[in-house]
Structure 1
Amino acid sequence: MPTVLVIGPYRFFFVSLDYGEPPHIHVQREKFVAKFWLDPVQLEKSGGFKAQELNQIGKLVQENQTYLLERWYEHFGQ
């Protein structure tokens, strides 16, 4: 599970077995893990986070979308 970005308490990472899915990122804080599609940015799974925090995380994903997509394609190809 390569970590591609850390912002504050959030770890942004890929799961290598996810190569068959559209580009997305997992975001972890402690025991919570959310999943966001990257193009377009959209929440897939909330992973126990509350709505307000998911909104904050979604903004971080949006702000870093280009970087995260670049890392996705470096990791998985295409």
Structure 2
Amino acid sequence: MPTILYILGWRIFFYSNEGEEPIHVHAQKGDMECKFWIDEEIMDIREAIGYNLTPKARKEIRKIIFQNFDLIVQSWKEYFKS
């Protein structure tokens, strides 16, 4: 389970067996967890799963993902050799 970064209590990661899926990222903080699909072409994200996310936490993690968009895409491509 490669971790991309830790920031503001969030762990941003992906699972090593998900290389056949489109680019996405998981995030976890306390008992909150979520998954966001990454659309590299239009530089956008879409929430796939959100568990126990408060509106404030959802806004925070979306901001973190957008601020680290290039790092997330690069990490995925390097890991999965895509």
Q: With structure 1 as the length reference, what TM-score do the two structures score?
A: 0.91
Cα deviation for residue 73 of structure 1 reads 0.3
Query: Which residue of structure 1 lines up, in the alignment, with residue 53 of structure 2?
Result: 49
Structure 1, gaps ≥5 residues long: none
Structure 2, gaps ≥5 residues long: none
SS for the counterpart of 2:47 is strand
The Cα offsets for residues 40-66 of structure 1, whole Å up to 9 and x where unpaired, read as 211111122112211111011011101
Q: Percent identity at matched positions?
A: 31
Q: With structure 2 as the length reference, what TM-score do the two structures score?
A: 0.87
Letter in 2 for 1:19: G
Structure 1 runs (4+) deviating above 3 angstroms are none
- Is 31-40 or 65-74 further displaced after alignment? 31-40
**1:76 and 2:60 aligned:** no
Q: Across the two proteins, how many residue pairs are aligned to each other?
A: 78
